[in-house]
Chains A and B, each alone.
Chain A
Amino acid sequence: NAGVMQNPRHLVRRRGQEARLRCSPMKGHSHVYWYRQLPEEGLKFMVYLQKENIIDESGMPKERFSAEFPKEGPSILRIQQVVRGDSAAYFCASSPNTGTDQPQHFGDGTRLSIL
């Protein structure tokens, strides 16, 4: 059973460009979470999605950031018009679609660097 898959592992963008980060949850998982981690800091929640629905986006900036989890395909975190402050590691986690308090398992992350 493959783990949470994120790509790309590393992404370099110039200021003003768009960044697209992809996350495929573990098989059988329908809950996807995105977190951001700045160097030497903890993980900050951004958004929680289920298939075709955004459940909680309270941690995501209102401008330039968007997320989706379509019926088919991976979840996408999109950052438009990137700025230097967007440089961080972005982690995706997934959890199963049954029961409560199921563990969140993380992918290897995408390290975004803005030039």
Chain B
Amino acid sequence: GENVEQHPSTLSVQEGDSAVIKCTYSDSASNYFPWYKQELGKRPQLIIDIRSNVGEKKDQRIAVTLNKTAKHFSLHITETQPEDSAVYFCAAGSGFQKLVFGTGTRLLVSP
């Protein structure tokens, strides 16, 4: 089955810096890769997703890149703000199937 690895487990940056979180997946059949942000005690919120027919997608300060050959995808957050502090999860799936999540990255943005 699918296995998703996520790095780093914790990431501390200064406000205004960029943050990059990386994930790798094992199942070449996976074709859908969402990213979720989860604040303490809250629901996971979808922040961006990418499908296998594109290599990059951007939404304001957030971008995701996908390398299907290498089976890895990354989340890029530019101009970080304290409210970006949260746990970020990558996931991989296909069609309507289950999502397999990474283990999460705790991002701390210091003012």
Q: Which residues of B contact A (CB under 8 A)?
A: 31-32, 34, 36, 42-46, 49, 51, 89, 93-104
Least Cβ–Cβ distance between A28 and chain B, in angstroms: 15
The smallest C-beta distance from A114 to any residue of chain B, in angstroms, reads 19
Smallest distance from the beta carbon of A57 to chain B beta carbons, Å?
10
Q: A42-B104, A101-B51 are in contact. Are A48 and B44 (CB under 8 A)?
A: no
Q: A101-B32, A109-B43 are in contact. List 10 more A-B contacts (CB 8 A).
A: A31-B96, A41-B104, A43-B99, A45-B98, A58-B98, A95-B96, A101-B93, A104-B46, A104-B99, A105-B46
Which residues 86-115 of A have a CB within 8 angstroms of B? 91, 95, 100-109
In the bound complex, what is the Cα–Cα distance between A55 and B98 (angstroms)? 10
Tell me if B43 and A33 are in contact (CB < 8 A). no
Main secondary structure of the interface of B (DSSP, over half): loop
Q: Which residues of B contact A41 (CB under 8 A)?
A: 103-104
User: How would residues 34 to 54 of chain A score, 1 for a CB under 8 Å from any chain B CB and 0 otherwise?
Assistant: 010000011111001000000
In the complex, per-residue mask of A19-36: 1 if CB is within 8 Å of any chain B CB, else 0:
000000000000101010
B96–A43 touching, CB < 8 Å: no
- Residues on A lying within 8 angstroms of B by beta carbon are 31, 33, 35, 41-45, 48, 55-56, 58-59, 91, 95, 100-109
10 contacts between A and B (CB under 8 A): A33-B98, A41-B104, A42-B101, A45-B98, A103-B34, A103-B46, A103-B49, A106-B36, A108-B43, A109-B43
A101→B31 contact, CB < 8 A: yes
**A105 vs chain B, min Cβ distance (A):** 7
A43 to chain B, nearest CB (A): 5
Contact A43 B44, CB 8 Å, known A101-B32, A103-B34, A103-B49: yes
Task: Tell me the complex Cα distance, A2–B42, Å.
Answer: 17
Chain A residues closer than 8 Å to B42, beta-carbon distance = 108
Between B93, B97, B98, the greatest number of chain A beta carbons within 10 A of the residue's beta carbon is seen for B98
Contacts of A59 in B (CB 8 A): 98
A42–B89 contact, CB under 8 A? yes
Contacting residues, chain A, for B89 (C-beta < 8 A): 42-43
